[in-house]
Structure 1
C-alpha cells in the first residue's frame, strides 16, 4: 500500500470553496466564513473519487487549523467524519459546539 501523498488544496475565495483534484477530477468543499468560524456546508466528490473523501477532509481540517479559526461541519458527510475522529479534531470546534 502506498503512503498517502499530500494533496494540493486550493482556496477558491470567489466561489467560497476548497478545491483539489483526484485522478484529474475536481473535488470541492463549499464553505461560509463568518467572523472566526468557517462553516463547511457541502462536499462534492466526482464519481470514482469517493475513496479520497477522508483525505480531502483531513487536508481542509489542516488548512483550517493552520489559519487558527474554528470550524463548524454542517455537511452530513463532514459531520460524520468529525464524529468518527472527535478526539483528534475536537479542538477545531467553537466553544459550546458538540458534534
Structure 2
C-alpha cells in the first residue's frame, strides 16, 4: 500500500479502486491526533482500513510520535489491535 503524507492538507492519502481515501491529522508536541477518516460513499472494506491504519502506525513509530485516536474507527482499531497500544500517550486508555 502506498501512502502519501500530504503535509499541506495534513492528511495521509491512499487509493482503493482508484478512489481517494484520506486520514486527517494534526500535530501537537510529539503527538499525532488522527481526527477523521474520509472514504468514498458505500466503501466498507474494513481490511483495507485496517491495513491503512497499520501503515500509519508504522509511520508514527518511525517518527517517534505518540498517537491520539480522535476518530471512532481509529479508537476501534486500537481495541482490536492491542499491540499498537504502546503508541498511545500516557493517560489515554482504550
The match for 1:60 among 51, 56, 61 is: 56
Q: Output the CA distance in 1 between the equivalents of 2:79 and 2:67.
A: 13
Query: Which structure 1 residue ranges, 5 or more long, are not aligned?
Result: 1-6
Map 1:17-96 → 2, pairs under 5 A: 17-47=11-41, 49-51=43-45, 52-86=48-82, 88-96=83-91
1:97 matches 2:92: yes
Q: Output the CA distance in 1 between the equivalents of 2:49 and 2:7.
A: 21
Change in Cα spacing, 1:56 to 1:48, as seen in structure 2 (3 Å) is: farther
TM-score normalised according to structure 2 size: 0.91
Q: Give the aligned length.
A: 92
**Segments ≥4 residues shifted beyond 3 Å:** none
- How well do the aligned residues superpose, as a CA RMSD in angstroms? 1.1
1:20-46 superposed Cα distances (whole Å, 9 cap, x missing partner) = 011111000000101100000000122
